[in-house]
């Protein structure tokens, strides 16, 4: 529908220009007519809002601002030039139409990149509510700043509506970590589905690893350029110029930052939930204190699950060795936190058995890359961890790539295709992944039946 809207506006601009080329309009009258055309374009857009795929969201905000400004500017110019008797030159009529079409097309770019996705239908019995807070770790100085400020970790909660009426201490807690330069909403459909089935989900932002987030002062924190560049370099399969020692040195720093974030959040939620006291580490912003306390009071802290995508999945796996974690899911992440060092160019792994139930969900692209390790007689860290897990499950989804395990293909197919998606239907894929995630957590966090899975979905 965005294309249809663009075509309509182009026709209006081109039609107006063509008509004016047959006239000898004074500049004063031309400006008035231009203002009327701009008003007509705004009315056309507002009427088309009633059609599917066109709305008043940020996807069309640029167009709305552009049309409003053009009406204002043409109105001001018409007042200034109301006595201008000069003839509008044809060249400037054509130039005006061309620039108008270019500006309109540019303003509609967000509508082409972002879809009108409004989430997936939930299968659970509960409606879902959200709230958020920022937790300040008073034991850690923010390494990305030079002002001595403490590390802040935004936490976004998804939970059953009317949580005040739910029995205290009954809902399992799931903590989610996003991938490199992802952000907390990367798997919103998963959080919502879990919350609709009676889970509390806390999705973290890792500042400076997240594409963008907010701090306690309301400032927008964007991804650190050095982290962004190094993640792209190491994520590229053609990085022969970098030694295993260098890669380990870089990735171990990433993992420590993220593991410290997740451990801090777990400890803080448990402490606050049991004490029912909001401490100095909490910044609630517009969130009501009673809302946070009601959410935390509803949680069963003996039933904690961790999960994440990509680098977030790796974070969940290593933090999942905690005694108070009952289940872990890794969505297409290389388990970098389980690497223990490098000796003579060979990566060493954590040799301790993995005692927490673990589900590794991989893309077909990721799964096929395991064959490259086998060809050279190497061992892939994920395979090593699964083989040494008391209850380890490894599955892959056919015709998928890395971003198929997030909501991004549903929100922006254009961006997702540039980051890696397979040929599989994106909506069907994430619904299947969410169903598998729910079954795994239902088994290990709610003691509902035995978990089994296929090798390939």
Residue 238 pLDDT greater than 60, yes or no: no
Beta bridge partners of 156: 132, 203
- pLDDT at residue 378, rounded to an integer: 77
Contact criterion met (CB below 8 Å) for 376 and 410: no
Q: pLDDT, tens digit, for every residue of 239-255?
A: 566 788 889 999 999 99
Q: Across residues 20-28, what is the average pLDDT?
A: 75
Residue 445 pLDDT greater than 80, yes or no: yes
Least confident of 72-86, 205-219, 295-309: 72-86
Predicted model pTM: 0.87
Mean pLDDT of the chain: 91
Query: Within 10 Å of residue 457's Cβ, how many Cβ atoms?
Result: 16
Residue 78 pLDDT greater than 80, yes or no: no
- pLDDT at residue 153, rounded to an integer: 97
DSSP-assigned states of every residue in 251-318 = HHHHHHHHHHHHHHHHHHHHHHHHHT---TTEE-TTS-HHHHHHHHHTEEEEEEEEEEETHHHHHHHH
- pLDDT at residue 84, rounded to an integer: 64
**Who contacts 408 (Cβ-Cβ below 8 Å, separation ≥6)?**
186, 415, 416, 419
């Amino acid at each position: 529908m965005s294309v249809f809207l663009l075509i309509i506006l182009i026709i209006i601009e081109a039609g107006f220009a063509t008509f004016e080329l047959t006239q000898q309009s004074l500049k004063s009258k031309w400006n008035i007519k231009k203002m009327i055309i701009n008003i007509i374009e705004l009315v056309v857009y507002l009427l088309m809002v009633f059609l599917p795929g066109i709305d008043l969201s940020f996807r069309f905000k640029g167009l709305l601002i552009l049309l409003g400004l053009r009406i204002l500017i043409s109105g001001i110019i018409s007042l200034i030039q109301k006595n201008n008797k000069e003839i509008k030159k044809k060249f400037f009529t054509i130039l005006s139409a061309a620039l108008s079409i270019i500006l309109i097309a540019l303003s509609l770019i967000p509508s082409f990149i972002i879809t009108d996705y409004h989430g997936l239908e939930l299968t659970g019995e509960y409606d879902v509510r959200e709230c958020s807070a920022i937790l300040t770790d008073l034991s850690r100085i923010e390494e990305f700043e030079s002002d001595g400020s403490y590390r802040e970790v935004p936490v976004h909660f998804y939970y059953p509506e009317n949580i005040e009426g739910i029995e205290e201490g009954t809902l399992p807690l799931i903590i989610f970590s996003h991938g490199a330069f992802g952000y907390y909403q990367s798997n919103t459909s998963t959080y919502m589905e879990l919350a609709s089935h009676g889970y509390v989900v806390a999705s973290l932002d890792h500042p400076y690893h997240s594409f963008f987030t907010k701090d306690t002062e309301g400032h927008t924190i964007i991804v650190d350029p050095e982290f962004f560049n190094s993640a792209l370099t190491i994520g590229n399969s053609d990085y022969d110029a970098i030694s295993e020692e260098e890669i380990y040195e870089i990735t171990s720093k990433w993992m420590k930052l993220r593991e410290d974030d997740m451990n801090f959040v777990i400890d803080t939620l448990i402490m606050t939930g049991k004490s029912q006291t909001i401490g100095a580490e909490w910044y609630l912003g517009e969130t009501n204190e009673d809302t946070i306390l009601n959410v935390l009071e509803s949680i069963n802290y003996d039933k904690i699950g961790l999960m994440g995508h990509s680098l977030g999945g790796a974070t969940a796996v290593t933090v999942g060795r905690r005694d108070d974690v009952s289940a872990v899911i890794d969505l297409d992440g290389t388990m970098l936190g389980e690497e223990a060092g490098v000796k003579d160019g060979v990566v060493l792994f954590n040799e301790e058995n993995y005692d927490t139930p673990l589900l590794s969900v991989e893309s077909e692209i990721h799964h096929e890359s395991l064959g490259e390790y086998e060809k050279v007689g190497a061992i892939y860290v994920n395979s090593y961890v699964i083989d040494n897990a008391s209850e380890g499950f490894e599955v892959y989804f056919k015709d998928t790539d890395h971003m198929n395990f997030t909501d991004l293909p549903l929100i922006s197919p254009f961006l997702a295709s540039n980051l890696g998606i397979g040929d599989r239907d994106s909506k069907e894929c994430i619904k299947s992944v969410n169903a598998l995630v729910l079954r795994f957590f239902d088994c290990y966090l709610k003691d509902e039946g035995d978990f089994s899975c296929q090798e390939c979905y």
